[in-house]
C-alpha cells in the first residue's frame, strides 16, 4: 500500500542582523521606493561573519524535530537543499546529521537553487511512499549574502539568508503530500547562474563568482512555469483551484507572487507573502513561510496547501499537501 508523507514538524532560523532598504541606499545606487516597487522587499536578514549554512540548518532542524516529537536517532535520512554550503564536500547534510545526533540516518545535499525545497520534499516523499524510510528531515538553508555583488543593485537588494526545516513521516492518509509536478529547461542557463568556484575556467573565477541574473527574463519564465506547474499538480491530486486553502510560494518577488496568484484565480488572502521581511532566501523561503503561516493560524487540519517554486536551471516545481500531522 502506498504511504503518504505527512509534515509532522517544522522550524525556522533567521539571522539576527537586519538590513533595511535605507541601509542599502547608502551602499548602492538604489532607493527604498525603487526596491519596494519592483520587489516588495523592505528588509532582509544577513548571516553573521562566522555563521554558515550548516549552523542555520542545525537550528531550524532542532526546532522541527521538537515540534514533531522525533528524536534525532529515529531519522532515516537528512536532505539539505542548498547552493551555498560552506564546503563542496562533505555535504552540508552530513554536517547537520552529525551535529543533531542523527546517527542512524543517511544524508545528502540537493542543488536545485530556489526550487530546492520542493525538489527535496518530492525526493523525500518517494522514499516514504515506497516504504524505504519512515522519518526524514528536509532542510533548506542559504547564505546568499556570500555570493552577491554588493555593487549590483539588480541582485544585492533581492536576497537574504535563513533556514527552514520540516520533518516528514509516513502515514496512511488522508493527510500528506498528494502530488508533485517538476520541470526543467536547461536551454536558458545564462539568465540566472553562478559559476562554480572549483570547476569554472581559471580566468573566470575571480570576476564572475557572484550571482548573475536577467531579471525581466526570469520574471516571464517564472510566472508562466509556476502557474502551469500548480495547475498540473492540482489536477494530479484530483483537485481544482477552488479546493486550495493556501498557496505558499517561493518568496522571490512580490510581483511574481501576485502575478501567479492572479493567473491561478486565487484571492490575495489565499496567497502567503513574507518576502517583505526576508527577501529571497532561496531554498529556505518556502519552509520559513510555512512556519509563519502555521504560527499565524492560517493552516488547519485537512487544508489543501500548495507549494510552488522557480529557480536556476531553469527549474520549477509544485506540490499539493493535505495538512494533518496525525496527532
The helix (H) or strand (E) run that includes residue 5 is strand 4-13
Q: Are the beta carbons of 245 and 263 closer than 8 angstroms?
A: no
Catalytic residues: 114, 250, 280
Question: How many C-alpha atoms does 314 have within 13 Å on its Cβ side?
Answer: 20
The SS3 of residue 183 is: strand
In whole angstroms, give the CA distance from residue 93 to residue 97. Answer: 6
- Residue holding cell 486550495? 244
Question: How many C-alpha atoms does 205 have within 13 Å on its Cβ side?
Answer: 7
In whole angstroms, give the CA distance from residue 55 to residue 72. Answer: 16
- Residue 164, C-alpha cell as written in the block: 527552514
Amino acid at each position: 500500500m502506498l504511504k503518504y508523507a505527512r509534515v509532522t514538524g517544522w522550524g525556522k532560523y533567521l539571522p539576527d542582523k537586519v538590513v533595511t532598504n535605507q541601509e542599502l541606499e547608502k551602499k548602492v545606487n538604489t532607493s527604498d521606493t525603487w526596491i519596494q516597487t519592483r520587489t516588495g522587499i523592505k528588509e532582509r536578514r544577513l548571516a553573521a561573519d562566522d555563521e554558515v549554512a550548516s549552523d542555520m540548518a542545525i537550528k531550524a532542524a532542532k526546532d522541527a524535530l521538537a515540534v514533531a516529537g522525533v528524536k534525532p536517532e529515529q531519522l532515516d535520512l537528512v536532505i539539505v537543499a542548498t547552493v551555498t554550503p560552506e564546503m563542496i564536500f562533505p555535504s552540508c547534510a552530513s554536517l547537520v546529521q552529525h551535529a543533531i545526533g542523527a546517527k542512524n540516518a543517511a544524508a545528502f545535499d540537493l542543488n536545485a537553487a530556489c526550487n530546492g525545497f520542493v525538489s527535496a520534499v518530492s525526493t523525500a516523499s518517494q522514499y516514504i511512499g515506497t516504504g524505504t524510510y519512515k522519518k526524514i528531515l528536509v532542510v533548506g538553508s542559504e547564505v546568499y549574502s556570500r555570493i552577491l555583488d554588493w555593487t549590483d543593485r539588480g541582485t544585492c537588494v533581492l536576497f537574504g539568508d535563513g533556514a527552514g526545516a520540516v520533518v516528514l513521516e509516513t502515514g496512511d492518509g488522508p493527510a500528506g503530500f498528494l502530488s508533485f509536478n517538476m520541470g526543467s529547461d536547461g536551454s536558458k542557463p545564462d539568465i540566472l547562474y553562478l559559476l562554480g568556484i572549483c570547476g569554472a575556467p581559471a580566468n573566470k573565477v575571480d570576476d564572475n563568482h557572484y550571482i548573475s541574473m536577467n531579471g525581466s527574463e526570469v520574471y516571464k519564465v517564472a510566472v508562466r512555469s509556476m502557474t502551469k506547474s500548480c495547475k498540473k499538480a492540482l489536477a494530479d491530486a484530483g483537485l481544482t483551484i477552488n479546493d486550495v486553502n493556501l498557496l505558499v510560494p517561493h518568496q522571490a518577488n512580490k510581483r511574481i507572487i501576485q502575478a501567479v496568484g492572479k493567473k491561478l484565480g486565487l484571492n490575495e488572502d489565499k496567497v502567503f507573502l513574507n518576502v517583505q521581511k526576508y527577501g529571497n532566501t532561496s531554498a529556505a523561503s518556502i519552509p520559513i513561510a510555512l512556519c509563519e503561516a502555521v504560527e499565524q493560524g492560517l493552516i488547519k487540519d485537512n487544508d489543501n496547501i500548495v507549494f510552488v517554486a522557480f529557480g536556476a536551471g531553469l527549474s520549477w516545481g509544485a506540490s499539493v499537501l493535505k495538512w494533518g500531522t496525525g496527532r
